[in-house]
Each structure stands twice: as C-alpha cells, then as structure tokens.
Amino acid sequence: MLTIYGVYRSRASRNYWMANELGIPFRSVPVIQARRLADPLAEDAPLNTRSPSFLAVNPMGLIPAVDDDGLILTESLANNLYLARKHGGPFAPADLTEDGLIGNWTMWAATQVEPHAVNIVLAYDDGIENTPEGRERIAGSVQPLKKAFAVLEAHLETREYVVGGRFTVADLNLAEVFRYTMSQTALFDAHPRVRAWLARCQSRPAFKAMMEERLREPE
C-alpha cells in the first residue's frame, strides 16, 4: 500500500490529490514541519521533519515522502509523475510524446514558477504582506511570474488542459504550484485563461476532498 508522509498543509497536498484522483488506497502519516514547533526534538513533540523516525525515511527532512511498497520517493511533483505512470488511465501519458510534454511542463513549473510563488506564500505566512518589506518581496516575485503566466495563457488559447486535451498529472502538478499565487488577483485578472483553467482543475471532486482534509488541519 502507498504511504504518504506529510500533513495536508504542505506540498504533500499534491500527492494526496493524486491518490484521490487515482482512487487508490493509501495510508497517511501526518508529519508536521519542524519550523512550526518550539522544540521539534522534545519528547512530547509530534512527528515532524526533524524526528529521527522520519529522517530514516527522508534524510533531507522534507515533506512529502511516499513509500510505495518499499520504493521511497521524496519529491512531490516527481511522486505524482510516478503514481500516474504506475496506475495509468487518463491521468498518465498516453505515449512517449505526452510523457515528454508532461515532464517538461512539470519541470517548468518547478523551476520557473514555484520559487517565486513560494516566496509570496512565505510573505503571508510571516505576516509581513502589508509591510514595506513584505510588499517589496511580493512585488519582486510577481514580476518574473508575469512571464510564466503569459506563457501558460498563450498555451491555453486553443486548449482547456495542458497536455492531450484532457486533465492529466501535468494539470494537477501545475495547478498545485499556481495555487500558491492565488493571493495575486491582478495576475489572474490579466490572464483569464489561466484563471479559468485553474478553476476547472480545482472544481474536481478529488481536489475538493483533499482541500476538505487540509482545512481540518490546524494552521
């Protein structure tokens, strides 16, 4: 059975969403981020990214990690690519061309979008979004995101989904990265196709089920 290590309020959300889409059984092991705890190594500390038992799973001390019958993978987007290929169906690439495109779009999101998107999220997490420092940080992240949004906007001009004319793991991976930018409404107002695409992705029952679990967790 697939085991997913990580709380829903983390990048593990991507793997929980993928498992929901595939309809496969999985075991959830909540692992909280050590930065959220005063003393992550205290005896009574919950399982966290600095806990020795979790470091035995992922020595990098990051979530998520997945254990699929002994195969341990530790990169959230790559975890989803693996799960889609293993279980097949419409979420997986139909041929080598689609496989290349899905991998390309996923790596694009990881390198060209996520670093800037995460920087925005952290500004809000730190509660500095309305301070001069926070506004400067956010503006510095939004600027490079404009190009990424424009690229996806142009790609969606003649299609509703990123690859193959259907919802695939590429859409799921990109949607989870672009979700981090949702506070920047002006970006979406300027790119209506991206906004409509993200809404389509997030209207899926599997996404809603994941978000319900996410909202049950303490912030």
Residue ranges of the domains in the chain?
2-88, 96-206
Do the domains at 2-88 and 96-206 have one common CATH topology?
A: no
pLDDT, mean of residues 37-55: 96
Best CA proximity match to 155, nearest among 139, 143, 170, 142: 170
pLDDT, mean of residues 67-88: 97
Tokens of 212: 């319900």
Residue 115 reports pLDDT greater than 90: yes
Whole-angstrom distance, CA of residue 175 vs CA of residue 167 = 11
- Residue 5 has phi, psi (to 5 degrees) of -95, 125
Residue 219 reports pLDDT greater than 90: no
Q: Rounded to the nearest 5 degrees, what angle is found at the Cα of 70, between the Cα atoms of 106 and 23? A: 55
pLDDT, mean of residues 137-159: 96
Half-sphere exposure of 77 (CA within 13 A, CB side): 18
The CATH topology of domain 2-88 is Glutaredoxin (3.40.30)
Whole-angstrom distance, CA of residue 68 vs CA of residue 135 = 42
Whole-angstrom distance, CA of residue 108 vs CA of residue 99 = 14
Write the DSSP symbol of residue 93.
Answer: -
pLDDT score of 26: 98
pLDDT score of 125: 87
Neighbours of 139 (CB within 10 A): 11
pLDDT, mean of residues 192-204: 98
Tokens of 53: 């038992």
Whole-number percent of the chain with pLDDT over 70? 100
Architecture of the domain spanning 96-206: Up-down Bundle (1.20)
